[in-house]
Amino acid sequence: MKKIALTVQGNTISQISFLKEDYISLTDIARIKNPAEPKDVVKNWLRSRSTIEFLGIWESLNNENFKGVEFDSLLFEAGSNSFTLSPSKWIEATNAVGIISKQGKSGGTFAHKDIAFEFASWVNSGFKLYLIKEYQRLKKDESNRLNIEWDFQRAISKINYHIHTDAIKEYLIPKILTKQQTSYIYASEADVLNIALFGITAKEWKENNPKLKGNIRDYATLEQLVVLSNLESLNSVLIQQDLSQEIRLIQLNQIAINQIQSLINHKKSIEKLI
């Protein structure tokens, strides 16, 4: 799991990604109230009936495997003098996903941001506001960084496309063709890449998405744009080798499958690079 550090009023609050969502360290937040025994702060928060009610509603909205019967039992006991509840017991009893418990040196209790903000409010309402502000700043920076990267890959794709079309013009287009014939060959070669990577032609995509502006490549993922750039360069080489369109399509499709699979398998390494 990739860990990010948020700095809130001089305090370091860890954040990780779990189930494609942001989870914030309750242990780090609890240290504000009790630096020596932060886990006790979390346990005290979990003793409250209002906390259990909140967690139950959150799980019901976000977790289809939430065990409602076990939750009802805990809710009935919550608030009594003898009631105690740890994060691990809550997770085990209800199959909760909103809170996770990590072991080891860098472990602790983490919770989905919705729950973490609620906990922060219980610890210190003022601190909660600073935490939300820092979290929003971090997400804004992350969004800007990803947009820049997407635009950069889009630019690479466009540059490579010029190289690609130059190869088509030199090696595929016979002399004395009409403008319409030339355009047809360009469109056909562009669709070789579309079919190899997306499994659909530009026209088919447009017919399936009449309300969307732009073209299929405008809605490509970052991974797809990376592979598209590679395919454009590779197709130019294959064209120069005088290979038929059918053979090139088969090869490009296999390359696209392998590269997309490789990007997925090495996603963590990619995230570090961007």
Per 3-state DSSP, the chain is made up of helix, strand and coil in percentages (nearest 5) of 65, 10, 25
Q: Tell whether 137 is covered by a domain.
A: no
Show which of 93, 123, 153 is a domain's final residue: 123
Q: The tokens of 160 are what?
A: 């490579």
Per-residue model confidence as pLDDT tens digits over 4-46: 889 999 999 999 988 788 999 999 999 999 999 999 999 999 9
Instruction: Based on the fold, state whether residues 251 and 157 are members of the same structural domain.
Output: yes
Whole-model pTM: value is 0.54
Instruction: Based on the fold, state whether residues 91 and 169 are members of the same structural domain.
Output: no
H or E segment at 262?
Answer: helix 245-265
171/128: higher pLDDT: 128
Q: Tell whether 93 is covered by a domain.
A: yes
| Distance, CA of 46 to CA of 33 (rounded, Å) | 15
Per-residue model confidence as pLDDT tens digits over 152-202: 666 666 656 655 665 555 544 334 435 554 444 556 778 888 888 888 788
Q: Tell whether 129 is covered by a domain.
A: no
Q: Tell whether 22 is covered by a domain.
A: yes
Instruction: Based on the fold, state whether residues 269 and 160 are members of the same structural domain.
Output: yes
Per-residue model confidence as pLDDT tens digits over 45-97: 999 999 999 999 999 999 999 999 999 999 999 988 889 999 999 999 999 99
Range of the domain at 9: 3-123
Instruction: Based on the fold, state whether residues 177 and 93 are members of the same structural domain.
Output: no
Q: The tokens of 67 are what?
A: 């065990």
Instruction: Based on the fold, state whether residues 113 and 155 are members of the same structural domain.
Output: no
Count of structural domains, the chain: 2
Q: Tell whether 136 is covered by a domain.
A: no
pLDDT score, position 177: 38
List b or e across 234-259, with b for residues whose CB sees 16 or more CB atoms inside 10 angstroms. bbbebbeeeeebeebbebbbebbeeb
| Distance, CA of 258 to CA of 227 (rounded, Å) | 10
pLDDT score, position 88: 93
pLDDT score, position 187: 61
pLDDT score, position 74: 93
| Distance, CA of 201 to CA of 190 (rounded, Å) | 9
Query: Which band of pLDDT confidence, cut at 50, 70 and 90, is reported for residue 265?
Result: low
Beta bridge partners of 101: 109
Q: How many beta carbons lie within 10 A of that of residue 3, not counting itself?
A: 11
